[in-house]
Amino acid sequence: MQGTLDLLVLRTLSTGGTMHGYAITERVEQISRDVLRIEAGSLYPALHRMEEAGWVRSEWDVSDNNRRARFYTITGAGRRRLAEEEDHWTRLTGAVERVLRLA
Amino acid sequence: MRVLRRLLNVWRGRTLARDFDDEIAFHIEQRIDANLRRGLPREDAIVEAQRHFGSVIRAREGMREARVAEWIPAFGRDLRVALRMARRQPGLAALTMITLSLGVGATASVFALIDGMLIRPLPYHDADRLVTVGDTFRTGPPRTGPTIPELLDVRAAATVFDGLSWVDWRDFQIGGGTEPARVMGARAEVALLQVLGVTPTLGRLFTEADATPGQPPVAILTDGLWRTNFAADAAIVGKRIVLNGLPTEVVGVLPAGFQFDFFAADPVDLYVPYPMIAAYTSRTAEFANVRRVIAVGRLKRGVAQEQADAEVVAVARRIEADHADLYRIGADRRDVGFAMHAEPLQRTLFAGSERTATLLSTAAALLLLIACVNMGQFLLAHALERRTEIAVRSALGASRVRLVRQLAAESLVLAAIAAAGGLLQAEGFIYLLRMYSMSQDPFVASRIELNGSVALFTIGTAAVVASLCNLVALVRWARPAPLHALATRELAPPTRARYVLLAGQVAVAVTFLAITGLLVHSITRLNAGDRGYTTDDVISLRLRAVARLQGPAVGEMYRRYLERLRAIPDIEAVAIANAQLPLFPSTNFAVDGGRADAATLSAQRAAYTIISPDYFKTLGIPVRSGRTFTDDDRAGRPPVAIVNEEMAHTFWPGQQVIGRQVRAGEGPRSALMTVVGVVGNVRPAMQLEPIPQVYVSLLQQPEPIVTMLIRSRQGRPVPLESIKQAVWSVTPDQPLFDVRLLSEWLTTFTAEPRRSLAVLLGSGALLAVFISGAGMFTLVTYVTVRRRREIALRRAIGAGVRDVVRLVSAPTIRWTCVGLLVGLVAATSGSGILRANFAGVAPTEPALLAIVSVLYLAIGCAAVWAPALSALRDDPAEILRSE
């Protein structure tokens, strides 16, 4: 789900600060204990799309191991978007849970 | 802002691509590092990293899609694909584009004609409320103007009109210039200009008082006359001008661009009030039953055409009941089936052009159709060729949307080219149409233009046609399944459907060509042989008797003009007549001893020409027996007539003709006359069969508006000045106008319209031939390209040139023959319709049809030959190795 990918990326950036794409995938896999895996082929288009939408901004900088990398930071608009997405997600999972429990 | 950046990114493609690659490379390197840290050997680390990343292509594409306004480069790519296709077969591509443009252009120009005639409102205030009122009779002409008493009754009784008025036209002589000048005046009933909704720029319109007999004469000038003759004098209102010798007060000036002269012989220069004298308004007066006004009404707001018509019909029924004796003719007092109708002004104006418009729009639609078939053929070939490409692309994950978008982009390119080419073409066709209409109806000509709605129509047609054609290709792509297409690279031979299309195309083109041929042939038939008169060295000029002369004095004045002119040495003969030539029937007639029942009488129509004695000498018409007129055949002497051979043979075959009685002439001219001479037939206009012609003496039937015909001695043209001086020595203020060669007049009024129609249809037919030839060429080229391998194989095992040519061309030629046959049959049956509408068209002309067939087969062979040859030029061994 595209919405889910956006949610994961925005959430990661909102707590992790400025990160490059690889770090984002690492972080998501690590926290989800390898349950959630982000395909790079989807991640980068999503990051570029979100930058076009104004939710993140990016700049080229030098990484820990002295390589040139593109770093992403969440913007104010991105945080607002994240709030919306989280809200949406909570309602969705809540609904699914209720169905699983009661139906 | 964001959109703008995405647009600008289109041109930063390379920089962006480097960025994307760097980002991807960094990601993979990070993974490799992590793998190495986990202790994987280097090769495994790299492979794992790459596998873990997934499709680099998809990532790159995705990023690009996010960053760049993708449709522009996509469009560019598709354009490039299309151009690549075009480069592979440039002739074919260009041919297809040109033919489509031609079809679109022809359609657009006919739309311009229809737009001018039927769609664009007339240039009057609330023009859709304007109607004409006309009389109809069960027999006789289809629709004529009502009489003044009829119109007065309708005006009094009808409730649907805001105003009902009428107008006719006269020559006027206007004083004050360097020589007596003639102007065209409209005699407008006082309400006419209000009904038309025009506001004068200076002064006022007419009032009831202006038309009352005995009032001082007044006139309203058109903008044109005001500017040319009166130097746009702002104080003209209230001044007096000399009109027909009488001081006339100018009461108003009309705005520029206003005109209402559709039915007038020439453009109108000024308006005078229609005189409401008893001669016109009373049913028993001299001119009461002359039907020569045009009646125009303005409907009340909200009144439907049908409602208005119904009311006019009802009023006419009451008129007929009240004056039954006026609507019965012949010895048996037969009912003539009188009725009156109201119809939209626009319909009346363009009634004469409808036939041509139908003919031309059918022609254009057919052209467009065969051009479409052509385009469809080309795109089908194109689609089949690209099926592999499409299959590869969709196997690689190009979405359906993507494919459709590409198709849409292609349609757009196609439509743009077709529209641009079509507009250029339309420009040319519209020029032809305008030339054609000019001779028919200058008003129609003035309304044919390449305006916004025509441009819009052109673009719309091009878009629809391009999308439809591409839709065919889309359907083609959709099946069979892409993978299947990949598996079987060999493509199917053209289906029967394509050959049927080809045959249809050929049939249309052949019909077109044959019909045009028949029309052109009819012109030759009409012009061939002896016309019965000569126009060599004859000039014609028109004059109108000065207004102060009435009745017999007019004839006497003309007699004196002729006397003076005969004295000029270089003039061989000179005559005055009411018409140049007796080309059209204009009167009913009865002969003594003939039948006098209404049916016979209304069917007997003759040309009625009022002439001076030397008319026959001037035009070289032979006098077969009896005599021509003399100056003694004047008012007060027994009425005499001269008839033509056709009439003599029909009514008095093998009998003495001289001394017989004949009654002819419309309205007050109707007279019982004694035949004194028989002359040769004059060939009528637009007709092969001779018509009865009756000549009467100018001195017995005074006619103020006449034509003077002057024949000079061979090769010694008479100076116009000496003619004018001779006339002016009798009447110094006599205007002379419209001087031209009789032959030129004849061309303009009789031959020109049909010639331009033939040129129009002829260019259409040429296009049709060209387009269908192009269609054959496309198809055969396609077949040849498709079967290259098979051809190579056959040649490798010994097939000769003839076998190869036969292989690629046989089905095309066969289906062309089928189309040819169908076309010939269609043309033969279609010529019936043509014959009903245009005189002189032969039912069929075997020679012509044979020529068309041979021509067509030749074109077919040529279209087939080139691609077949190209198939032979290839080295078979090379082809077999390469594929």
Domain map (residue ranges) of chain A = 2-102
Burial B183-207 (b: 16+ CB within 10 A, else e): bbbbbbbbbbbebbbbebebbebbe
- Residues in B closer than 8 angstroms to A66, CB to CB, are none
Rounded alpha-carbon distances, angstroms, from residue B250 to A2, B190, B243: 83, 15, 11
Q: With an 8 Å Cβ cutoff, is B66 touching chain A? A: yes
CB contact under 8 A, B66 and A65: no
Q: Is the pLDDT of residue B398 over 70?
A: no
Yes or no, beta carbons of A52 and B2 under 8 Å apart: yes
**Does A41 contact B23 at a Cβ distance shorter than 8 Å?**
no
Nearest CA in chain A to B30: A22
Question: Is the pLDDT assigned to residue B485 strictly greater than 70?
Answer: no
Better pLDDT: B787 or A61: A61
Chain A neighbors of B65, CB-CB under 8 A: 45
Size of interface A-B (CB pairs under 8 A): 66
Q: Do A68 and B26 touch (CB under 8 A)?
A: yes
Q: Is the Cβ pair B62, A22 closer than 8 Å? A: no
Q: Please answer yes or no on whether B55 and A41 come within 8 Å at the CB atom.
A: yes
Least confident segment among B128-137, B427-436, B691-700: B427-436
Tell me which range, B123-127, B363-367, B448-452, B571-575, is most confidently predicted by mean pLDDT.
B571-575
* B-interface mutation test, from A37, A52, A60, most B Cβ less than 10 A away: A52
Residue of higher predicted confidence among B724 and B382: B724
Q: What is the pLDDT of residues B834-854, one digit of tens each?
A: 777 666 777 777 887 888 888
Per-residue exposure over B504-517, b if at least 16 CB sit within 10 Å of its own CB, e if not? bbbbbbbbbbbbbb
Mean pLDDT is lowest, of B30-34, B219-223, B549-553, B569-573, for: B549-553
CB pair distance less than 8 Å for A41 and B54: yes
CA B370 to chain A, closest CA, distance in angstroms equals 48
Taking residues B434-460, report their average pLDDT. 81
Per mean pLDDT, which range of A82-86, B67-71, B205-209, B668-672 is the poorest? B67-71
A-chain CB neighbours of B27 within 8 Å are 20-22, 40, 44
Q: Tell me: the pLDDT tens digits for B326-353?
A: 887 766 777 778 889 999 998 888 876 7
Touching check for A31 and chain B: CB below 8 Å?
no
* pLDDT tens-place string over residues B633-690: 988 899 999 999 999 998 888 889 999 999 988 777 888 999 999 999 998 877 788 8
- Which comes out higher in pLDDT, residue A12 or B62? A12
Counting as low any pLDDT under 70, the low residues of chain A are: 1-3
Pairing between strand A56-62 and B270-273?
Answer: unpaired
pLDDT at B428: 83
CA distance A46 to chain B (A): 8
Look at A56-60, B215-219, B585-589 and tell me which has the smallest mean pLDDT. B585-589
B42 touches chain A (CB under 8 A): no
Query: Kind and range of the H or E element at B166?
Result: strand B161-174
Cα–Cα distances (Å) from B176 to B173, B182, B220, B239, B728, in that order, read 10, 11, 17, 13, 16
| Total-model pTM | 0.64
Q: Nearest by CB to B62, from A45, A68, A69: name it.
A: A45
Distance of residue A49 Cα from the nearest chain B Cα, in angstroms: 5
Q: What is the pLDDT of residue B853?
A: 85
Per-residue pLDDT band at B734 (split at 50, 70, 90) = confident
**HSE of B647 in the Cβ direction (CA atoms, 13 Å)?**
36
pLDDT category, B477, cuts 50, 70, 90? low
* pLDDT at B486 (0 to 100): 47
Q: Does B53 have pLDDT greater than 90?
A: no
Judging contacts by C-beta atoms under 8 Å, the chain A residues touching residue B52 are 40
> Domain A2-102 has what CATH class?
mainly alpha
**Residue closest to B792 by CA, chosen among B868, B873, B880:** B880
pLDDT of residue B381: 67
pLDDT at B472 over 80: no
What does the pLDDT read at residue B530?
Answer: 83
The rounded distance, in Å, linking the Cα atoms of B635 and A44 is 109
Confidence tier at B403 by pLDDT (50, 70, 90): low
Mean pLDDT of B860-877: 74
User: Which phi and psi angles does B62 have, rounded to 5°?
Assistant: -60, -45
Q: Return mean pLDDT, chain B.
A: 83
Highest mean predicted confidence (pLDDT) among B309-318, B434-443, B467-476: B309-318
Identify which of B212, B525, B503, B205 has the alpha carbon closest to the alpha carbon of residue B373.
Answer: B503
Per-residue pLDDT band at B515 (split at 50, 70, 90): confident
Pair of tokens at residue B683 = 């060939």
pLDDT higher at A93 or B363:
A93
Instruction: Check residue B480 and give its pLDDT.
Output: 47
Measured between CB atoms, which of A22, A45, A46 is closest to B27? A22
pLDDT of B488 strictly over 60: no
Q: With contacts defined as CB-CB under 8 Å, which chain A residues touch B7?
A: none
Answer yes or no: do B53 and A41 touch at CB < 8 A: yes
Query: Residue A58 and residue A24: Cα distance in Å, rounded?
Result: 13
Asked if the model's pLDDT at residue B560 lies above 90, the reply is yes
Tokens of B602: 């209304």
Residue B490 is predicted with a pLDDT of: 45
For residue B325, CA distances in Å to B199, B338, B431, B590, B596 come to 42, 12, 52, 20, 17
Please state the rounded mean pLDDT for residues B145-172: 91
Q: Residue B565 above 80 pLDDT? A: yes
Confidence of residue B620 (pLDDT cuts 50, 70, 90): very high
**B742 or B716: which leads in pLDDT:** B742
Instruction: State the pairing for strand pair B202-203/B246-253.
Output: antiparallel
Which pLDDT score, from 0 to 100, does residue B83 have? 57
Q: Which residue has the tokens 């900088």?
A: A61
CA distance A92 to chain B (A): 27
Asked if residue B176 has pLDDT above 70, the reply is no
A41 touches chain B (CB under 8 A): yes
Which of B254, B167, B246 shows the shortest CA–CA distance to B211? B167
Of A52, A63, A70, the CB nearest to B67: A52
Strand partners, B672: B663
Q: Among A49-63, B26-40, B236-250, B803-817, which stretch is predicted with the lowest mean pLDDT?
A: B803-817
Q: How far apart are CA B593 and CA B679, in angstroms?
A: 21
**How far A35 CA sits from the closest chain B CA (Å)?**
15
pLDDT band at B383 (very low <50, low <70, confident <90, very high): low
- What residue type is B456 in one-letter code? L
At B852 the pLDDT is: 80
Model pLDDT, residue B473: 63
